[in-house]
Structure 1
Amino acid sequence: MLEAYHGTYQSISPLPSPLALPDDMLDDDLPPLDMPGSFGDGGGGGGAEARERVRFPGGAGLGAGLLSPTTPASAGGGGGARRKEKRAKIYDATEDALAIVDALSGRHVDPEPLVGILPQLSHDQLMELRAEYKRVCKVQGRGINVAKHIKMKCSAGSNFGKIAYVTALGRWESEAYWANFWYQSNGARRELLIESLMGRSNAEIREIKDAFRDKRYGDSLSRCMDKELRADKFRTAVLLALEERRQEETDRLPVEYRNRDVDILYQSLHGRDRSESTMLGVVVTRSDAHLREVLRTYERKYQENFARAALKRSNNLVGEVIAHILNGVINRPARDALLMRHALSDLLDDPPSNPRSSSVAVRPSSSRQDRRQRHELLISRLVRLHWDRPHWARVKAEYRDRYGAHVEDDIEDATRGDFREFCLSLCEAGR
């Protein structure tokens, strides 16, 4: 058995799992998979000031009604409808690269170019910036990696330096950084590892593995996890995710496979041979669409909410993994809004002076170690969200709808200085 682990989902009361499915995904004869007092309440989201919630289909990708680059702005016109010609805007990284060179060349780092440039770039644009930076900034004829330059020039251990560095790594290398970070730090926040790898598609796992850099393990993330993690069920789950054997979302299994998984999950909780490994084998390797059907069928057949029962039974890292994946399966924007709320909740030392931004509950001041770990959670979650801008916009809408406040206001109250400005710039990237 794994030791008890007081992680994100174990520490939140009331129990956040499972979250409510979006309305258009629920069957009429099945109650929402939510829990009174948690996401299902929708507390704090009413009133004249609250925006009407936009409903999106489940899963990743653009929501209904968003225009793709090839969609005309007006789709209702006839053959004579006028269409504006759309031209691709090519990003020129030279000016930004030179601005960051200047910002890092002095005795003291000028934070303004870092705040103004890095959060606004897409992953592809950031890769262009990194290539251009190596061209314009050289030492002894060798180009400098902009992320490493930021890490070298910014104060060691500062939150601003860390968030600028992680953003400069790009979308996939930053995830590899967090997967590799947890065991290098004094803290044991396994959430950093769980959130970087669990519930990912095979293509995303491949990108993260390709971006991983650690010479001690031959740049192999799988080898690193195999050596650094204890030989237990959590390591088995991590290595299983890294094998890239998750069911693709386009794969539709016959109904008997769904029913078999339902029975397997029930036996893993209530059978004679109860098995956390069996639960992980199903949850880690099945697609979001398949797991949604499994959860619906499980509740119909056994009159029990599997996600809630599994988290109650497994008060350890297995429960954390299952809760993270299933909450993302059921409602990913709501799950990520909860994660932002959790990261911010302990960072307010004093009650906010502005009632508008008092939605984050103030708790007693925690130790310096706890605050450092909570800053790491905030940095990892905020940087991760800003890469997927349509999804980030949904998360902010969920946050406002559920907690009655803008996430930007709570971040402003919970952070300080240049770190605050960088965080707020990351929030603007989702607009």
Structure 2
Amino acid sequence: MNQNRPPYPPQQGPPQGYPQPPPMTHPNQPGYPQHQQQQFMQPPSPYGQPPYPQGPPPPGQGFYQGPPQGPPQGYHHHAPPPQAYQQGPPPPGGPYGAPSPYPPQAQFQGPPPSLPSPGYVPGQQAIGDFRAQADQLRRAMKGFGTDQKALIQVLAKLDPLQMSAVRSTYTQHIQRDLYKDIKSETSGYFRQGLLALIDGPLRHDVTCARDSIEGVGTKEWLLNDVVLSRSNADLTSIKSVYERTHQHTLQKDVEGDLSFKTLGLFSMVLRATRHEESAPLDPTIIEAEAKSLHGATAARVVNNVEEVCGIFARASDNELRAINHAFSTRYNIQLDKHIEKEFSGHMKDALLHMLRTALDPAMHDAEQLEDCMKGMGTKDERLVIRVVRVHWNPQHLDQVKRAYRVRYGKDLIDRVRGETSGDYQRLMVALLA
């Protein structure tokens, strides 16, 4: 999804008496809550400016902003100025500068919780009349044959709230189930991609969570993608819809599928009690956590896995970045290299996933996409899931494409085009464009 894509034309309101979806607006329309707009973007980093050149990018590409460089501004290991780590109540306003949705008294009870990302509130939809899109989709599948290009043209342009509105409108206006129609009219990885889009980010995460632990063995990569490095709000939504869909909890299902050590990590993560990104950093705690990580690993014959998992599970991304800096400064080794040396298997992959997502989310996703395509053959299932996931966040997707070019010296879309074919190829390219 290209950030330079012109905004969608404003939708006209439905006629009198037409069923109204829940009152939300498109992120580009007036009236859309500012905090919801901000959820599309990575929180501003407290770290220094990126080392990449500033100024206008060359035609057809932009500068990758790079990972946060160095420690947080004002971070000192010995004598930090008091104002650098204010311990009082958070300043007025939400975690990203938006007007605070919390009552004044709540602001003195710790940092405000994160809000769900777009598409992670069940029933939330864009307002407007989406019957034209519903009609286009029906025409593409009605009669003999299916117009795959028309399906891509309509569905690849929708954001999470619009997708929810189109699916609801299709049911009300056409009197049919869009998911079932797409499933019966398409096949292969093209169908997988379209169904993931129609489900939207929340339902698709629930589907992936179930798929990761269903049957023989565990799809560890998929469980990592769905559960790890998520905000408390999004993970709580996933757990809630999972339980409502499957009549038992995600925690219980995960417990029955993982080995003892990784079970402990995922049990902690699934509590959804990470420190919020808006919480101020405490340099004393950061230093103590870095020492604890070292003491639980390098200073022992047998790693204290529970201690390491506890630190990773409760730390915000901001705290993980600061812990990484403190660890590498104190012990002269990057924390990810230390994790690679001290752990193996799923535990190593899970901890690295959490750390590298915190350090540079765009680069981590770029590397995850390349992992789907490198070597002999393409891991198509992974590619579809990961392309759809980055597609939902336009600003992040733009950074992923830039990071991919920095890391691999080639264009991500060209790389995906070379690994896919047919309608499947056209869908993947449309989602990344």
TM-score by length of 2: 0.69
Provide the residue aligned with 2:239 in structure 1: 209
Give the counterpart of 2:182 among 150, 172, 182.
Answer: 150
| 3-state SS of paired residue (1:311) | helix
Q: Which amino acid aligns with 2:179?
A: A
CA distance in structure 2 between the aligned counterparts of 1:147 and 1:180, rounded to whole angstroms:
18
1:147 to partner: Cα distance: 2.5
Provide the residue aligned with 1:271 in structure 2: 299
1:253 to partner: Cα distance: 4.4
Is 2:273 the counterpart of 1:245? yes
Provide the residue aligned with 1:25 in structure 2: 47
Once the two structures are superposed, the pairs formed by residues 212-223 of structure 1 within 5 Å of their partners are 212=242, 217-218=246-247, 220-223=249-252
Identify the range of structure 1 (97-106 vs 240-249) with the bigger mean alpha-carbon deviation.
Answer: 97-106
Provide the residue aligned with 1:95 in structure 2: 132
1:187 to partner: Cα distance: 7.3
Please, what is the CA RMSD of the aligned residues?
A: 3.2
Identity %: 21
Provide the residue aligned with 2:171 in structure 1: 134
| 3-state SS of paired residue (1:120) | coil
Deviations 1:373-405 (A, max 9, x none): x11110111000011100100110111222221
Contact 2:261–2:347 (CA<8 Å) still a contact in 1? yes
1:154 to partner: Cα distance: 2.4
Identify the range of structure 1 (202-211 vs 411-420) with the bigger mean alpha-carbon deviation.
Answer: 202-211
- Structure 1 segments unaligned to the other structure (5+ residues): 1-21, 33-39, 41-47, 60-67, 71-88, 347-364
CA distance in structure 2 between the aligned counterparts of 1:91 and 1:27, rounded to whole angstroms:
40
Provide the residue aligned with 2:227 in structure 1: 197
Give the counterpart of 1:53 among 59, 63, 67.
Answer: 63
Provide the residue aligned with 1:104 in structure 2: 141
Is 2:302 the counterpart of 1:302? no
1:27 to partner: Cα distance: 9.8
- Structure 2 segments unaligned to the other structure (5+ residues): 1-43, 53-57, 70-96, 100-125
Once the two structures are superposed, the pairs formed by residues 350-389 of structure 1 within 5 Å of their partners are 365-366=376-377, 371=378, 374-389=379-394
Deviations 1:267-321 (A, max 9, x none): 1212335222221211122001111111111111112222111122211111001
Provide the residue aligned with 1:313 in structure 2: 342
Is 2:363 the counterpart of 1:327? no
1:105 to partner: Cα distance: 3.4
Provide the residue aligned with 2:121 in structure 1: none
| 3-state SS of paired residue (1:269) | coil
1:185 to partner: Cα distance: 6.1
Contact 1:334–1:395 (CA<8 Å) still a contact in 2? yes
Give the counterpart of 1:422 among 419, 427, 430.
Answer: 427
| 3-state SS of paired residue (2:254) | helix
1:344 to partner: Cα distance: 1.9
1:256 to partner: Cα distance: 2.0
Provide the residue aligned with 1:120 in structure 2: 157
TM-score by length of 1: 0.70
Deviations 1:152-190 (A, max 9, x none): 4323xx111111111111011111221111233667531
> CA distance change for structure 1 residues 401 and 304 in 2, over 3 Å: closer, same or farther?
closer
CA distance in structure 2 between the aligned counterparts of 1:190 and 1:102, rounded to whole angstroms:
40
Contact 1:148–1:165 (CA<8 Å) still a contact in 2? no
Contact 2:218–2:258 (CA<8 Å) still a contact in 1? no
Q: Which amino acid aligns with 1:220?
A: T
Q: Which amino acid aligns with 2:338?
A: A
1:107 to partner: Cα distance: 4.9
CA distance in structure 2 between the aligned counterparts of 1:384 and 1:52, rounded to whole angstroms:
22
Contact 2:48–2:68 (CA<8 Å) still a contact in 1? no
> CA distance change for structure 1 residues 186 and 220 in 2, over 3 Å: closer, same or farther?
closer
Contact 1:147–1:166 (CA<8 Å) still a contact in 2? no
CA distance in structure 1 between the aligned counterparts of 2:416 and 2:254, rounded to whole angstroms:
33
CA distance in structure 1 between the aligned counterparts of 2:133 and 2:248, rounded to whole angstroms:
30
Contact 2:327–2:333 (CA<8 Å) still a contact in 1? yes
| 3-state SS of paired residue (1:274) | coil
Identify the range of structure 1 (277-286 vs 413-422) with the bigger mean alpha-carbon deviation.
Answer: 277-286
Give the counterpart of 2:197 among 167, 173, 178.
Answer: 167
Q: Which amino acid aligns with 1:189?
A: K
CA distance in structure 1 between the aligned counterparts of 2:49 and 2:169, rounded to whole angstroms:
52
Deviations 1:5-50 (A, max 9, x none): xxxxxxxxxxxxxxxxx9993599xxx9xxxxxxx9xxxxxxx899
> CA distance change for structure 1 residues 426 and 206 in 2, over 3 Å: closer, same or farther?
same
> CA distance change for structure 1 residues 120 and 211 in 2, over 3 Å: closer, same or farther?
farther
Deviations 1:202-231 (A, max 9, x none): 01112222333675x40532333233x134
Provide the residue aligned with 1:6 in structure 2: none
> CA distance change for structure 1 residues 186 and 168 in 2, over 3 Å: closer, same or farther?
farther
Contact 2:64–2:406 (CA<8 Å) still a contact in 1? no
Deviations 1:118-164 (A, max 9, x none): 121010001101110110233xxxx52x2243224323xx1111111
CA distance in structure 1 between the aligned counterparts of 2:146 and 2:217, rounded to whole angstroms:
28
Give the counterpart of 2:312 among 276, 283, 287.
Answer: 283
| 3-state SS of paired residue (1:323) | helix
CA distance in structure 2 between the aligned counterparts of 1:213 and 1:148, rounded to whole angstroms:
23
CA distance in structure 2 between the aligned counterparts of 1:426 and 1:404, rounded to whole angstroms:
21
Contact 1:25–1:57 (CA<8 Å) still a contact in 2? no
Q: Which amino acid aligns with 1:154?
A: T
CA distance in structure 1 between the aligned counterparts of 2:372 and 2:66, rounded to whole angstroms:
25
CA distance in structure 1 between the aligned counterparts of 2:45 and 2:234, rounded to whole angstroms:
28
Contact 2:179–2:198 (CA<8 Å) still a contact in 1? yes
Provide the residue aligned with 1:183 in structure 2: 213
CA distance in structure 2 between the aligned counterparts of 1:220 and 1:210, rounded to whole angstroms:
8
> CA distance change for structure 1 residues 290 and 23 in 2, over 3 Å: closer, same or farther?
closer
Contact 2:65–2:399 (CA<8 Å) still a contact in 1? no
The answer to which structure, 1 or 2, has the higher relative contact order (CA under 8 A, 6+ apart) is 1
Runs of 4+ in 1 over 4 A off after TM superposition: 48-52, 56-59, 185-188
